Amino acid sequence: MAVVYKGVTIEGFGEKDLASRLEHYAGRSTAAGALLVKAGNEKAKVMLTKTGGKCEAKGTEVSLSWDACVDLTRGGVNVIYLTESALFELNNAANHNKFAALDTEVKAAIISVLKYGEKMCNLEYESTCAVAEIAKQMKGKGEPVSPFGNKQITEAPRGATNFENKPHNSKGSGEDLLPSNLFYAYNYLNGLKQPGSLGMKKHIEKVAIIKKTPRNKPLDNLNFSKLRKLYNDTLPAQFLVWWIDALIKLVGPPKDNGFSITWVGVRAEWEKCANKFVEKVPTIRHDKTKRDALIQELRKC
């Protein structure tokens, strides 16, 4: 039977144990108490399972598996780690409206996928700071803190950009090893249907503004139906790599090559995105043939 504490519903394997731990934390840390009230006001819910390796928030619901919080030194579940993870994800759940607004922005291509990844890191950083403050208060009361809690204490002063320079999940593989901002960008892109879709068209337009010289005329008639046929079986993240490669080559020697490009953001960050996708995701590669085919399509515009 589900347990409700400070408006937060806790349900599943070990629900009473976690509820008791959260009550203990709220009694020892004002930051923990405030976080739980905030999450309760949003009708947050924690769904617990014994196994599954889950530790994530979607909307107001947190999915948390006990086996995701194993003590790597001693073995077995670290209940302190479990509690701190629950608090971290509950803070994300309490911020569900911010995440939803960000999803709306990226889906409408109001922001680029790189900006989306950066803003996602900022929201995750809020949870890092929340757990760091709780962990410091618990330490001040002589309470034990897990390596996860200590990690949040260490990372909080470094700022959100710290998440852009380390693997999203060092225990994972493939895209999990991307820096967090690029991990979020990659996952969003691969939720799109195909490179030739309207959604992808909006996002490649968010990479750079392309104009033909010398008249400086905006390039506005790129044939996406043709691209759909050329790249129909290509994942959007792969297509983005070839698109970035094409734009970089397009304004290479000779100097103008008939085009001018104004990058949305910083060209070096888009290059880093492409190179990291290739470096970390085994199915993504640079491809001169695909790049040159895209350049030919641009020349026809």
| Average pLDDT of the residues in 61-83 | 89
pLDDT tens digits for 156-174?
A: 998 877 777 788 887 778 8
- 215 pLDDT tier (thresholds 50, 70, 90): low
Bridge partners, residue 58, by sequence: 61
Q: How confident is the model at residue 200 (pLDDT cuts 50, 70, 90)?
A: confident
Radius of gyration (C-alpha) of the chain in whole angstroms: 23
Mean pLDDT on 198-227: 73
Task: With CA atoms as reference, report the closest residue to 141 among 32, 271, 285.
Answer: 32
pLDDT at 202: 83
Q: How far is CA 274 from the centre of its chain?
A: 16
Model confidence at 67: pLDDT above 60: yes
Range 200-224 average pLDDT: 73
pLDDT at position 213 over 80: no
What's the average model confidence in pLDDT over 227-242?
Answer: 83
In this prediction, what percent of the chain has a pLDDT beyond 70? Answer: 91
Q: Is the pLDDT of residue 258 over 80?
A: no
pLDDT score recorded for residue 282: 95
pLDDT of residue 195: 57
* 290-301 pLDDT, tens digit each: 999 888 888 877
pLDDT of residue 267: 93
Phi, psi of 232 (to 5 degrees): -60, -35
Q: How far apart are CA 283 and CA 299, in angstroms?
A: 28
Instruction: Output the pLDDT for position 234.
Output: 84
Average pLDDT of the segment spanning 1-19:
96
Cβ-count burial 5-17 (b if 16+ within 10 Å, e if not): bbebbbebebbeb
B/e letters for 20-53, b = 16+ CB within 10 Å, e = fewer, are: bbbbebbebbebbbebbebbbebebbbbbbeeee
Per-residue pLDDT, 222: 62
Question: pLDDT class for 66, splitting at 50, 70, 90?
Answer: very high
Q: What is the mean pLDDT of the chain?
A: 89
